Amino acid sequence: MLILVTCLFLFITAFALVILRVFQPTARYGWMLAASGALLAFISTILWLGRLPMVFALPVWLPVTLFPTPVMFQADGVTYPLALSIAALTLATLLTAVTRPVFTNSPSWAGILILGGLGILAVTANNPLTLLLIWALLDLAELFSQLIVVNGRQNNESVVISFAMRAMGIGLLFWANVTGSVNGVVFDFQSMPANATIYLILAAGLRLGVFPLNLPFSPDSNLRRGFGTALRLVGAASSLSILGRITEPVSSFTPILILLAMIAALYGGWMWLRAPEELSGRPYWMIGMASLAVLSALSGNSIGAVAWATALVLAGGMLFLFSVTHPLLNRIIPIGVWGLSSLPLSMTASAWLGDLNFFVPFMLAAQALLAAGFIRHALRTPSGSMLESQPGWAQILYPAGNMILFIVLVLLGLIGWDGAFRFGGLVLALIASLLALGLVWASRRFRIFNPARAHWVNSAGTSVNNIYQGLWSLYRGLARVAQAVAQALEGEGGIMWTLLFLVLFVIIVAQGIQ
C-alpha cells in the first residue's frame, strides 16, 4: 500500500498545482506546495525499507478470459534503488528550481511530479501489462512535450521517429508477454520463461538508442534543466528497470546483441567525454550508461544492470541540475564519480558479478570514458550566476537538492537493496578507475579528447542519425512513387493502364507456352 501512498503524494500535489494555476495564477506559494509533495513522497519511499517486499495489485479487469493478469506492482530489493532514486530526483529538481528565472506556479512543476509518480510505478511494475501501460503514458508525455517546443519539419520528424522507436519497444514488450503466456500461464516477471527474456532486453535497448545505435533525442533539445532532466532520466530508469527482473537470456542472438551494445557503450562514452558541456552530451551519457546496463543483463548480472541504471539517474541528476556556482557543490559534484567507479561499497560495486566474457576490456574502456567525462564536466564552472545573488533561503535549498542525490548515491552502496555492501571485482574496478584518471589527465593536454568547436557534438550526433534519416527519406520516396502509381491507375486513364498490363501479361504467357 505504501507504493500507492507515495505515488498519490505526487499525483495529488500535481493536481493541486493545476487547480491553483487556474484559480490563482499569481500565487507565490505554488513552489512550496510542489516541494512539500515531493518531500513527502521521498520520505515515504525511505519508509519502504522496513516493509520490503511489498505487493500492490488493482482488481482484475473483466472479462477475465481476456485479462487474466491484473495490474500489479511490487517493491523489493531489486526495484527499490530505482524507486528511491526517482523520488530523490523529483525532490532535487524542485529544490534546484529556486535559482531559475521564472519562479511562479510553473506547469513544469506539475509535470515533474507526474513524471516522478509514473516513474515509480514503472520501476515497480510486476508484469508486462502494467509496464506497457505506464510506458505508453510516459511516451505520450514526451511526444507532446517535444512537439510543443520543437520547430521545423525536420525536428518534428525526429520527434515522431523517436516516438516510433519507443512504440516498437512497447511492441517487443507485448510480444514477450505473448511468448510467456503461450501455454496459458499467467505471466509476471518472476515466472518469466527463458525464451522471453531476450525480447525484454531488446525492448529496453531499443527505447534508449542501444539497439540500433541512435540518439534517443536531439542533443540541442529545448528541454534543458528541470523538466527536461526529469523527463530524460525518469524515462531511462523506467526502460532499464525491466533488466533487473530477468535471468540470463537464452538466445542464439546474444553474441550479436553483446557486440552491438559494446559499440554503443564505447561510442556513448567517447562522445560524452568530448561533449562541450554536460547538457549537449546528455544523450551520449544515457546511451553509454544504458549500454553498460544492457551488457550486465546479457551476462546474467541483473543486479549490475540495476546498479548502472540507478547511477545513470543519481549521478546524471547531480550533474544536469548543477547550474549555479557554489563552493560546497564545486567539491561535492566531482566526488559523485564514486558511484561510477565500481569500487568496493560503491553503488556500482555489483557491476562485475556476472559471467565475465570477452567483452570485459571493452566494458572497462566504456566505464572509464563515462567516468572521465563525468569528472571533466563536474570540474567545469557552471555558466549560471553566483548563488550569493539569491535570497538566503534559496542559498540553503539549492545545494540541498544536489546533496540529496549525492547522499542517496552513497547510501545505496551500503544499505537498502540486494546490491548493497558488495566488494565486487576489485581488480577490474581499479583498472577502470586508473583509466578514467588517465583520460582526465590526457583531456587537459591532448586536443583529440576535446571538441574542436562548440557545435561539434551536435554535428557528430547528426551524422549517426543520418542513416535513419536516409531510411526515412527512402520510405517517403517509395510512398511518393506508390502515390503516383495509384493516381495513374485511378480515373479514366486507369482503364487504359489496366488493358496495357493485361496485354503484356497475355504476351508473356503465350511466349512461355511456345
Instruction: Give the tens place of pLDDT for each residue, 16-31.
Output: 999 988 888 777 788 8
Does the predicted model carry a pTM greater than 0.85? yes
Is the model more confident about 247 or about 484?
Answer: 247
Which segment of 106-120, 326-340, 376-390, 426-440 scores lowest on mean pLDDT? 376-390
Cis peptide before 81 (omega within 30 of 0): no
**What is d(CA 350, CA 295) in angstroms, rounded to the nearest whole number?**
13
Q: With 80 as the cut, is the pLDDT of residue 96 above it?
A: yes
Helix, strand and coil content of the chain, in percent to the nearest 5, comes to: 70, 0, 30
User: What are the backbone angles phi and psi of residue 55, rounded to the nearest 5°?
Assistant: -130, 135
Mutual orientation of helices 107-124 and 128-149 as an angle, nearest 10°? 160
With b for 16 or more beta-carbon neighbours within 10 A and e for fewer, the 170-205 pattern comes to bebbebbbebbbeeeeebbbeebeeebbbbbbbbbb
Mean of the pLDDT values across residues 111-119?
Answer: 94
**What is d(CA 391, CA 74) in angstroms, rounded to the nearest whole number?**
42
The DSSP bridge partners found for residue 386 are: 325
Confidence of residue 219 (pLDDT cuts 50, 70, 90): low
**What is d(CA 25, CA 18) in angstroms, rounded to the nearest whole number?**
9
CB 215 within 8 A of CB 165: no
**The C-alpha cell of 180 is what?**
510467456
Confidence of residue 499 (pLDDT cuts 50, 70, 90): low
Is the model more confident about 1 or about 138?
Answer: 138
pLDDT of residue 458: 46
Query: In angstroms, how far is CA 17 from the centroid of its own chain?
Result: 26
Is the model more confident about 84 or about 147?
Answer: 84
Which segment of 155-169, 230-244, 313-327, 449-463 scores lowest on mean pLDDT? 449-463
Mean of the pLDDT values across residues 424-441?
Answer: 92
Mean of the pLDDT values across residues 426-442?
Answer: 92
pLDDT of residue 453: 45
Is the model more confident about 99 or about 187?
Answer: 99
Q: How do the domains of the chain map onto residue ranges?
A: 127-451, 454-514
Q: With 60 as the cut, is the pLDDT of residue 481 above it?
A: no
pLDDT of residue 455: 40
Q: Which residues contact 198 (CB under 8 A, 6 or more apart)?
A: 249, 250, 251, 253, 254, 257
What confidence tens digit (pLDDT) does each residue in 308-364 have? 999 999 999 999 988 777 778 888 888 999 999 999 999 999 988 766 677 789 999
pLDDT of residue 273: 92
Confidence of residue 447 (pLDDT cuts 50, 70, 90): confident
Confidence of residue 11 (pLDDT cuts 50, 70, 90): very high
Mean of the pLDDT values across residues 88-103?
Answer: 82
Query: In angstroms, how far is CA 61 from the centroid of its own chain?
Result: 30
pLDDT of residue 375: 93
Confidence of residue 432 (pLDDT cuts 50, 70, 90): very high
